[in-house]
Amino acid sequence: MVASIGKIASPSQGVGYFERDGYYAREDAAHREASAWAGKGAAALGLSGPVDPERFRAVLEGEVPRIGSGAGQGGRRLGRKEIDGSITHRPGRDVTLSAPKSVSLMAMVGGDERIVEAHDKAVTATLGWIEKNAIETRMRDPATGAMVRAGNQKMVAATFRHDTSRNLDPQLHTHAVVANMVQGEDSKWRTMVDDGLFNGKMAIGAIYRAELAQGLKGLGYGIGKTHADGRFEIEGVSREVIDAFSTRRAEIEAAMTERGMGESKDNPHLAARAALMTRAAKRDIDRDELGRAWQRQAKALGFSAAKVLSQARKAERNLLGPDLFAGPGYAAGDAAAWAVAHLAERQAVFGHADLLAATLAREPGAVTVDAAERAIAALERDGALHAARGLDHGRHWSTDAALARESETIALMRAGQGAEKTVMRRWVAETKLHRGRLNEGQKEAVKTVLAGKDRVVAVQGYAG
């Protein structure tokens, strides 16, 4: 169960791929009903409901249509103009949100349509966070004339829900195609800067998992956390059953082993490459026959989805109302405080997306993304968190303890400036290091330490 962010090919290749395999904009009623436009940018263009293939093509090619209230620049195509007058435009990114295998089994084999609704709601919540926090563009600052990043952009996205893997295993997932076109507060359309998507990838996955887990708990399902990042499975669905219905995962693992790539959990980028190398074409299938095949396989494994569903419905009837003294706000506060302590053990400064992901991962389904954001804001108001500068773009945080350690370190360095005798003259150190195995940067660090008179010398560099 992961959130993956894939590259969409050039407009001609990309649109041709979507139409050839019918993977995104297939011309059949069932497929169309499983698609939807999303984002304030889509609404500004008058795009709503099921995704129309022709409008989808236009969006991927960067065309600002002559439709909707936001189409004042009708007919213009976004992108970079080449010397020959042609326009080069990246279509966008494919954000895929995939349910845990046990969830897919209960939805597809168990026939619990409520799970599909819970999945859709989790996708909607996740896309809402993406639009608010990860969608940016570049624009000229009117005050300085410099190109700067700007957030608060309206997103255009098209979602397509699928329920099988390429190996025809049950696999509930949604492709959210985030188009490379955003609308700013000035109503102008620009291309998207997608760094925010990649920097927020862990948070995006955590948000989807948390929202889905909460929805499942509300349906009476028990949730068992399986990984530190908040991944989970439905209780009552054994690992044997999960593995038996995960032939696509087994195929990727086998490909990685064969090519000496290691394990997928340790090498996510290589796993993505292996997935591409082993990818089979999507194919038309008899849905009824596929469902019967799944039922036969479940029976052979001794798995009764009906039993798990019955237990969930019984638990749902016995669910108590909200506890005012232990509601989401309290749970979110505890989770956020734990996440801060957890991250601060290893980092003096950490990103907002990492903090949000850790908060949501502590107990799947206990905290929603909105509650987590409010809890983090409360920690800032209370002085437990302080805004800080990070190495990458986006919001970053630090703590009182980290700031105190930094102040103490600076004080020690200042107190020790010029307080010691030189250990070794620089030219002597150069002679002794001349034939050593250290690289030039490492040699320079050694000479700085030995020839200096400061009690504390800071050396910054990559590990090793």
Average pLDDT score over residue span 94-105:
95
412 domain-assigned: no
Helix 352-361, helix 201-218: angle, nearest 10: 30
CA 352 – CA 200 distance, rounded (Å): 9
Q: Do the domain assignments include residue 409?
A: no
Q: Which of 164-173, 201-210, 218-227, 314-323 has the lowest mean pLDDT?
A: 314-323
Report the pLDDT value the prediction gives residue 133, as an integer from 0 to 100: 93
Give the mean pLDDT of the chain: 83
Is 50 exceeded by the pLDDT of residue 277? no
Do 295 and 346 lie in one domain? The reply is: no
pLDDT, residue 206, reads 96
Q: Is the pLDDT of residue 220 over 80?
A: yes
Closest alpha carbon to 366 in 233, 237, 218, 234: 218
Per-residue pLDDT at 31: 64
Tens digit of each residue's pLDDT (9 = 90 or more) over 411-425: 888 887 877 788 778
Radius of gyration from C-alpha coordinates of the chain = 26
Helix or strand run (H / E) with residue 440: helix 440-451
Phi, psi of 122 (to 5 degrees): -65, -40
Is residue 182 in a domain?
yes
- Each residue's pLDDT tens digit, 59-88: 998 888 554 434 444 568 888 888 887 888
385 with 341: CB under 8 angstroms? Answer: no
User: What's the pTM?
Assistant: 0.81
Domain of residue 360, residue span: 328-401
pLDDT digits (tens, 9 = 90+) for 18-45: 554 555 555 666 666 788 999 999 999 9
Domain count within the chain: 3
For residue 325, give both structure tokens.
């003294």
Residues 427 and 288 both lie in one domain? no
Q: Are residues 294 and 426 in the same domain?
A: no
pLDDT 10s digits, 239-257: 999 999 988 655 655 554 6
**455 part of a folded domain:** yes
Q: Are residues 427 and 359 in the same domain?
A: no
Residues 314 and 438 in one domain: no
411 within domain boundaries: no
The dihedral sign for the CA sequence 239, 243, 245, 248: positive
Give percent of the chain with pLDDT exceeding 70. 81
Residue 432 in domain: yes
Is pLDDT of 120 > 60? Answer: yes
Secondary structure (3-state) at 7: strand
